[in-house]
Amino acid sequence: MTRVALVSGGTRGIGAAISVGLKAAGYKVAANYAGNDERARAFQGETGIAVFKWDVSSYEACVEGIAKVEAEVGPVDVLVNNAGITRDAMFHKMTPQQWNEVISTNLTGLFNMTHPVWSGMRDRGFGRIISISSINGQKGQMGQANYSAAKAGDIGFTKALAQEGAAKNITVNAICPGYIATEMVMAVPEKVMNERILPQIPVGRLGQPEEIARCVVFLASDEAGFITGSTITANGGQYFV
């Protein structure tokens, strides 16, 4: 039986590596995205992975989008909550809009995506929920009160839901990446990268999206069935919890 995996924000960056890693591991994969049609089409063409467009910050859109995925690809066995945005500002300059956009995508998005797949997982007696939090949800980051709050919330969500899912063979885990070489991070000026970011990372390099994807593939597997409510920290030694 081929299991079905749904990856939010699965067409670019870390999410694209996760989609590709799960496909290579034998899953039927559906990749969701928000609005970048050109990138999504190119990704589908390169990988053969089906792409589905909706906004994870809307509950109605998630219910509708997941129903389409389940009709076209199959019932979701593995959900990867990866979609995320930043709207950085020092707190005295942060607008309610910047706060709300990040909370509704990075935190409420987990409710919106997980709730529609939860009953099916309970009924079938198997499920994997894996959410991409962040080092900044663990340690906090200046200029990111919104993002840090949302990502810390993702960890609380994971711990609570793990307790509810355990009896039904549903594991719920989070991964906290440090700096990963995606477009977002590679856009940082070279001087800032070399003088401020890399010196904070003991292994002396950025992480690669595939290194996060491998954590996801492991957590999704049957072999990881005893791991639930946990947070995998993958940050090159930058921060220990």
Looking at beta carbons only, is 126 or 147 nearer to ligand NDP? 147
Residue 99 to residue 94: CA distance in whole angstroms:
7
- Is 19 an interacting residue with respect to ligand NDP (CB under 6 A)? no
- Is 187 an interacting residue with respect to ligand NDP (CB under 6 A)? no
Binding residue (CB under 6 A) for ligand NDP from 35, 96, 199, 202: 35
Binding residue (CB under 6 A) for ligand NDP from 55, 128, 144, 220: 55
Note if 179 is an active site residue. Answer: no
Cβ(14)–Cβ(213) below 8 Å:
yes
**Two structure tokens written together for 77:** 């066995």
**Two structure tokens written together for 183:** 């477009």
Contacts of 115 (CB under 8 A, 6+ apart): 59, 62
Q: Which stretch binds ligand NDP (CB under 6 A): 9-17, 21-29, 72-80, 120-128?
A: 9-17
Q: Which stretch binds ligand NDP (CB under 6 A): 3-11, 64-72, 158-166, 187-195?
A: 3-11
Residue 207 to residue 64: CA distance in whole angstroms:
34
- Is 14 an interacting residue with respect to ligand NDP (CB under 6 A)? yes
- Is 154 an interacting residue with respect to ligand NDP (CB under 6 A)? no
**Two structure tokens written together for 39:** 């990138």
Binding residue (CB under 6 A) for ligand NDP from 9, 116, 127, 153: 9
Cβ(86)–Cβ(147) below 8 Å:
yes
**Two structure tokens written together for 48:** 């053969």
Torsion of CA 58, 130, 14, 192, to 10 degrees: 90
- Which residues in 73-92 contact ligand NDP (CB under 6 A)? 82-85
Binding residue (CB under 6 A) for ligand NDP from 180, 213, 216, 219: 180
**Percentages (nearest 5) of helix, strand, coil residues in the chain:** 55, 15, 30
Which positions touch ligand NDP (CB under 6 A)? 8-9, 11-15, 32-36, 39, 55-57, 82-85, 105, 132, 134, 177, 179-180, 182-185
Q: What residues are labeled active site?
A: 147
